[in-house]
């Protein structure tokens, strides 16, 4: 420990050394000292919860050119490199010791090799840079949801983003004393080019050490790879949750208004670009979280809390007409960081924003003009399809007042949302918890989108919308969900949604129809709406939807629309079951109940086909 103190004293100025030493945690001191020794920064800034420290971080991002001020007060823009626009699934790997195996679909590397490569990549990487040490909390502070985190980075943009996305945790670190229970993240953007963009993308690496609860991220700036408290820490939280019998999930939390001033809280797990954020931000309802939720059992009920306190959202198809709440927040004075949008005369533009867009500007490709092509001859759109905005959730008019409630909120329903054109109905209720976990959550499929570096438009298996972030075998994860309902007096109702049904390329549902589906779920939870029993679950009756469309959207809902949307497509559902069973046949430790419930659903579909045919109208039941 004497060596650690010597490193800290010789590398950190008096003010910052005092701030660090106020946290009497040997493991923390060792982490900072090791980072200094390896990365060799020009200086070290210890960021407390003080407003002046937070302000310094924001100004540093501007001074270093990582962010550029825009025309509206408080708005800035950051550009990631042209090839650094999404989560890097290929190079995001777990560091596993010899003999450890997390199962199929889990990307891993030998721990010793990964650590050696990390040391090499981080060696001297922060020369001439400021090392920023941040203390933050996942979940509300001073709560059983709280997880203390320390992120070290040389990117003021990353550190500034965390100011908007997470609760300050310096004071909480004081409270944990010498505890070793906290997450650690070490990040460097690496060598930058003349445009302040990570230069060595070929050496982009994100390594996760589950045993040490430690993340390494290097040669990247995209927030999904660098803001360690986001999906990187989700992987650590899933393991922690497994040890402690709670759930860390890729879910929003939404407060839905019901009759007589009732508010019912639902969570929802959707893969990227499947309507997750727009559902979390339904106008007139309350948003408690848009991405990550922690679920705990207490006194026979499930309570949920937002792991974050801000939003790193996709800024595409957000218009004044379709998304008035977030559109207003993005076009009025407040602190917002845009990334990878088009900027012209200090104004940000994005795909599908409903405005007349300029023919020239600056975007992630540099100087941009209409018709510009990249080195491979591909047309470069005015903004990236995975362009983002970062904002404190407190800036939204409909932010739920319970966002920082240390007790969380009671969870009454869980929604699993995918994206397919011809399999799933727009909304459906599971028969019970186990049926929901298996047929809605564990069987979730969705077409791939621009949020990852894979091909788009491919139907992809994504259980609980969490496959990319699983830090344990899939079978174990599914069993953890099945077991979660044990000893509960009030079990959340499970639903599934699909906003992307199509016929001949035309969507069968409107962008706002999701509001009706959610209102129906709220009524179902309280026994105030009817349902029809189908082979795959419970669906709304026509009269309830006709009334809700009129009440919620002020529009008529026809019987023809109901039949087209809610008819059961038997062949497509049977093919899906075969695909899911084939996948789980290769998964070790898959709970036998999964195969039993999927087979029961298959038999119901076959029996219904014998009676009604291959496409079953809801009026046939």
- Catalytic site includes residue 274: yes
Which residue is catalytic, options 47, 149, 274, 399?
A: 274
CA distance 583 to 482: 19
Q: Are 66 and 155 in contact (CB under 8 A)?
A: yes
Q: How far apart are CA 256 and CA 525, in angstroms?
A: 11
Residue 531: other Cβ atoms inside 10 A: 15
Expressed in angstroms, the distance from the first to the final Cα of the chain is 72
Q: Is 389 helix (H, G, I), strand (E, B) or coil?
A: strand
Whole-angstrom distance, CA of residue 97 vs CA of residue 274: 36
Cite the beta strand spans of 458-536 per DSSP E.
459-461, 493-498, 502-503, 506-507, 531-533
CA atoms of 343 and 383, how far apart (whole Å): 9
237-254 as b/e: b if 16+ CB within 10 A: bbbbbbeeebbbbbbbbb
Residue with tokens 């549902």: 509
* 49-61 burial code (b ≥16 CB/10 A, e <16): beeebbebbbebb
Whole-angstrom CA distances from 308 to 30, 311, 329, 382, 437 are 27, 8, 18, 30, 25
User: DSSP H helical segments within 109-208, as ranges?
Assistant: 111-122, 156-165, 170-176
* Active-site residue list: 274
């Amino acid at each position: 420990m004497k060596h650690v103190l010597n490193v800290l004293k010789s590398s950190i100025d008096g003010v910052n050394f005092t701030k660090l030493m106020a946290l009497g945690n040997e493991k923390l001191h060792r982490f900072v000292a090791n980072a200094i020794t390896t990365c060799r920064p020009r200086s070290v800034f210890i960021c407390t919860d003080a407003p002046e420290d937070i302000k310094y971080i924001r100004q540093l991002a501007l001074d270093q050119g990582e962010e550029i001020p825009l025309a509206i007060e408080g708005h800035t823009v950051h550009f990631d490199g042209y090839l650094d626009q999404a989560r890097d699934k290929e190079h995001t790997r777990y560091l596993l010791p010899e003999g450890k195996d997390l199962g199929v679909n889990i990307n891993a590397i030998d721990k010793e090799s990964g650590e050696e490569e990390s040391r090499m990549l981080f060696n001297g990487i922060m020369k001439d840079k400021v090392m920023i040490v941040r203390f933050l909390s996942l979940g509300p502070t001073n709560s059983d949801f709280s997880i203390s985190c320390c992120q070290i980075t040389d990117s003021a943009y990353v550190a500034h983003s965390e100011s908007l996305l997470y609760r300050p945790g310096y004071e909480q670190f004081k409270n944990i004393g010498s505890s070793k229970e906290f997450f650690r993240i070490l990040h460097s953007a690496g060598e930058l080019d003349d445009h302040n963009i990570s230069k060595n993308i070929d050496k982009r690496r994100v390594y996760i050490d589950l045993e040490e609860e430690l993340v390494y991220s290097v040669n990247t700036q995209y927030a999904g790879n660098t803001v360690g408290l986001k999906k990187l820490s989700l992987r650590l939280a899933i393991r922690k949750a497994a040890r402690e019998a709670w759930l860390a999930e890729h879910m929003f939390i939404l407060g839905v208004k019901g009759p007589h001033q009732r508010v019912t809280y639902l969570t929802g797990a959707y893969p990227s670009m499947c309507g997750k954020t727009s559902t979390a931000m339904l106008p007139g309802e309350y948003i408690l979280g848009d991405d990550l939720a922690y679920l705990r059992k207490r006194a026979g009920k499930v309570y949920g809390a937002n792991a974050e306190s801000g939003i790193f959202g996709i800024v595409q198809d957000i218009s004044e007409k379709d998304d008035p709440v977030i559109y207003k927040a993005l076009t009025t004075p407040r602190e917002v960081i845009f990334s990878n949008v088009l900027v012209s005369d200090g104004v940000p533009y994005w795909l599908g924003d409903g405005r007349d867009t300029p023919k020239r500007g600056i975007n992630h490709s540099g100087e941009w003009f209409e018709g510009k092509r990249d080195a491979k001859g591909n047309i470069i759109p005015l903004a990236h399809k995975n362009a983002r905005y970062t904002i404190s959730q407190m800036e939204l008019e409909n932010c739920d007042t319970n966002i920082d409630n240390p007790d969380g909120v009671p969870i009454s329903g869980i929604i699993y949302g995918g994206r397919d054109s011809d399999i799933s109905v727009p909304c459906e209720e599971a028969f019970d918890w186990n049926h929901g976990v298996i047929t809605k959550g564990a069987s979730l499929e969705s077409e791939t989108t621009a949020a990852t570096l894979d091909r788009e438009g491919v139907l992809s298996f994504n259980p609980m919308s969490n496959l990319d972030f699983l830090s344990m075998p899939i079978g174990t994860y599914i069993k953890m969900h099945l077991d979660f309902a044990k000893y509960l007096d009030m079990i959340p109702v499970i639903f599934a949604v699909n906003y992307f049904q199509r016929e001949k390329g035309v969507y069968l549902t409107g962008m706002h129809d999701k509001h009706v589906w959610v209102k129906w779920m709220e009524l179902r939870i309280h026994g105030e709406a009817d349902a029809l029993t189908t082979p795959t679950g419970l669906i709304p009756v026509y009269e309830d939807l006709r009334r809700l469309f009129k009440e919620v959207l002020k529009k008529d809902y026809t019987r023809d629309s109901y039949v087209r949307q809610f008819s059961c497509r038997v062949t497509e559902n049977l093919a899906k079951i075969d695909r899911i069973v084939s996948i789980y046949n290769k998964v070790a430790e898959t709970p036998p109940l999964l195969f039993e419930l999927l087979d029961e659903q298959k038999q119901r579909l076959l029996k219904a086909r014998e009676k009604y045919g291959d496409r079953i109208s809801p009026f046939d039941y």
